[in-house]
Amino acid sequence: MSDILLIYPSVSYTAEYMQIKDDIFLNHPPLGMLYLAAMAEEKGFSVKIYDTSGDWWKLNKIMETIKEENPKMIAFSCLTSNIRGACQLSKKIREEYGSQIKIGLGGHHISCDQSFLDRYPWFDFAITGEGELTFIEITEKIIRQKKDVKGLFKGETPQNLDELPMPARHLFDINRYPNFSLNPIISTRGCPYDCLFCSRPGVSRKVRIRSPKLIIEEIKKAIAATGKNKFMFLDDSFTINRNHTVSLCNEIINSGVKIKFNAMTRVDLVDKELLQLMKKAGCIKLLFGVESGNERIRNEVVKKRVSDEQIKNAFNLCWKNGIEADMFLMVGFPNETHEEIMDTVRFPLKITKRINMVGIHPTVPLPGSAIWSEAINEKIIPEDLIDKYIRGELGDGFRKAWPRYVPKGLDIKFLVEARNLANKMFYFRPSYYLYRLLKDIKDMEQLRNDFKEFFSLLYYGRSSWGD
Q: Read off the pLDDT of residues 254-280 as tens digits, 9 standing for 90 and up.
A: 999 999 999 999 999 999 999 999 999
Residue 459 pLDDT: 47
Residue 153 pLDDT: 97
Q: Is 211 helix (H, G, I), strand (E, B) or coil?
A: coil
What residue type is 257 in one-letter code? V
Residue 444 pLDDT: 60
User: What share of the chain has pLDDT > 90, as a percent?
Assistant: 80
Cβ(294)–Cβ(332) under 8 Å?
Answer: no
Q: Which helix (H) or strand (E) holds 75?
A: strand 73-77
Mean pLDDT of 138-145: 97
Q: Is 355 helix (H, G, I), strand (E, B) or coil?
A: coil
Mean pLDDT of 391-404: 92
Which domains does the chain possess? Answer: 4-154 (3.40.50.280), 428-467 (no CATH)
What residue type is 283 in one-letter code? C
Q: Residues with Cβ < 8 Å from 21, sequence gap 6 or more?
A: 56
On the question of pLDDT at 61 being above 60, the answer is yes
Residue 330 pLDDT: 97
**Plot region of 26 (φ>0 → left; ψ -120 to 50 → alpha; else → beta):** beta
Residue 53 pLDDT: 79
Q: Which helix (H) or strand (E) holds 422?
A: helix 412-427
Residue 205 pLDDT: 80
Residue 52 pLDDT: 86
Q: Residues with Cβ < 8 Å from 139, sequence gap 6 or more?
A: 3, 4, 40, 43, 45, 73
Residue 56 pLDDT: 63
What residue type is 176 in one-letter code? R
On the question of pLDDT at 455 being above 60, the answer is no
On the question of pLDDT at 294 being above 60, the answer is yes
Mean pLDDT of 57-82: 92
Q: Is the pTM of this model over 0.75?
A: yes
Q: Is 127 helix (H, G, I), strand (E, B) or coil?
A: strand
On the question of pLDDT at 110 being above 80, the answer is yes
Mean pLDDT of 225-254: 97
Mean pLDDT of 91-95: 96
Separation between Cα atoms, residue 127 and residue 189, nearest integer Å: 18
Query: How many CB atoms neighbour CB 65 within 10 A?
Result: 16
**Plot region of 395 (φ>0 → left; ψ -120 to 50 → alpha; else → beta):** left
User: What share of the chain has pLDDT > 70, as a percent?
Assistant: 92
Residue 416 pLDDT: 95
**Plot region of 252 (φ>0 → left; ψ -120 to 50 → alpha; else → beta):** alpha
CA atoms within 13 A on the CB side of 425: 18
On the question of pLDDT at 192 being above 80, the answer is yes
Instruction: Output the average pLDDT for the chain.
Output: 91
Residue 338 pLDDT: 98
Residue 462 pLDDT: 56
Radius of gyration of the chain (CA): 22
